[in-house]
């Protein structure tokens, strides 16, 4: 499939040529042609993947300013929720260990963070925004023991982030455009036609629950309830 240039003529960027250029450090094409390719991707992707198109457009015109993603949109992807759950389970195991060691009538604080790496599924819109990202979860909890039961409460602040760049991998398959070499974005940045920028999103969850000594069980049992703190914006 060919890509129409700004002049309205067929581009030399056929799928096969794009794929082979992915093995090279540089595309060997003029910078205006590379810029026209990316802008055509923006224009033709708005109906299919509007968020991805918006972020590619910001890459071309945003002068490097950071962007904040909607929490609702980001958490609509299963891979994000799985990363969130992974960090929550880590906190739960950590809290159970702290509760087990707590003496009757005593209280303690647990403050820590966990990181979960995220690889977006190919074909999802998240993949075209951020192929690989990180969710950092910072937790702060208070534990108080009364007899066999330990009361636990706290807050976890999740921070998702990823630099928007075209530095990793060899190419990416984009609908209607085929295989686009990563080198295209890299050359546009080097020629000051585009700027990398930081993408991020933050949300907060609370935890309430208890841990209870088990009868004849070394680990005991815990009951934890998580809740999302709704912000003013979606």
CA distance 172 to 130: 12
Q: For 116, what's the count of Cα atoms within 13 Å in the CB-facing half-sphere? A: 22
Average pLDDT along the chain: 87
> How many other CB atoms sit within 10 Å of the CB of residue 18?
24
Bridge partners, 181 (sequence order):
171
Whether 133 maps to a domain, the answer reads yes
Read off the tokens for 14.
């056929």
Supply the DSSP symbol for 22.
Answer: T
Residues in the chain: 234
Query: What local confidence, expressed as pLDDT, does residue 232 receive?
Result: 59
Give the residue from 200, 201, 197 showing the smallest Cα distance to 61: 197
Whether 2 maps to a domain, the answer reads no
Bridge partners, 180 (sequence order):
172
Read off the tokens for 128.
């075209």
Pairing of strands 67-68, 107-119: unpaired
Query: What local confidence, expressed as pLDDT, does residue 216 receive?
Result: 55
Query: What local confidence, expressed as pLDDT, does residue 79 receive?
Result: 98
Whether 3 maps to a domain, the answer reads no
Whether 5 maps to a domain, the answer reads no
Q: How far is CA 95 from CA 11, 108, 110, 136, 137, in A?
A: 59, 10, 7, 18, 15
CA distance 196 to 66: 9
Whether 148 maps to a domain, the answer reads yes
Whether 1 maps to a domain, the answer reads no
pTM: 0.85
CA distance 186 to 165: 8
Whether 10 maps to a domain, the answer reads no
Whether 191 maps to a domain, the answer reads yes
Pairing of strands 171-174, 221-229: unpaired
Read off the tokens for 4.
């129409």
Domain that holds residue 40: 15-229
Q: Please write the tens of the pLDDT for every residue from 143-175.
A: 999 999 999 999 999 999 999 998 876 778 887
Q: Please write the tens of the pLDDT for every residue from 186-232.
A: 999 999 999 999 999 999 999 999 999 876 555 678 899 999 998 75
**Structural domain total, the chain:** 1
């Amino acid at each position: 499939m060919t890509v129409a240039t700004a002049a309205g003529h067929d581009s030399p960027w056929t799928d096969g040529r794009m794929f082979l250029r992915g093995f090279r450090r540089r595309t060997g094409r003029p910078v205006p042609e590379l810029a026209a390719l990316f802008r055509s991707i923006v224009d033709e992707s708005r109906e299919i993947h509007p968020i991805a198109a918006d972020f590619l457009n910001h890459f071309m015109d945003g002068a490097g300013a950071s962007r904040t993603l909607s929490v609702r949109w980001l958490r609509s992807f299963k891979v994000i929720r799985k990363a969130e759950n992974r960090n929550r389970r880590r906190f739960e195991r950590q809290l159970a260990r702290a509760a087990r060691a707590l003496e009757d009538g005593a209280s303690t604080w647990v403050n820590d963070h966990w990181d979960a790496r995220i690889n977006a599924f190919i074909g999802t819109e998240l993949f075209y925004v951020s192929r690989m990202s990180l969710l950092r979860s910072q937790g702060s909890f208070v534990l108080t023991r009364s007899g066999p039961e330990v009361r636990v409460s706290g807050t976890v602040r999740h921070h998702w982030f990823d630099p928007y760049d075209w530095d990793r991998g060899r190419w990416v398959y984009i609908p209607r455009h085929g295989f686009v070499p990563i080198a295209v974005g890299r050359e546009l940045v080097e020629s000051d036609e585009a700027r990398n920028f930081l993408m991020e999103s933050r949300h907060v969850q609370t935890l309430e629950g208890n841990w209870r000594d088990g009868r004849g069980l070394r680990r005991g049992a815990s009951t934890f309830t998580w809740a999302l703190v709704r912000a003013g914006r979606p």
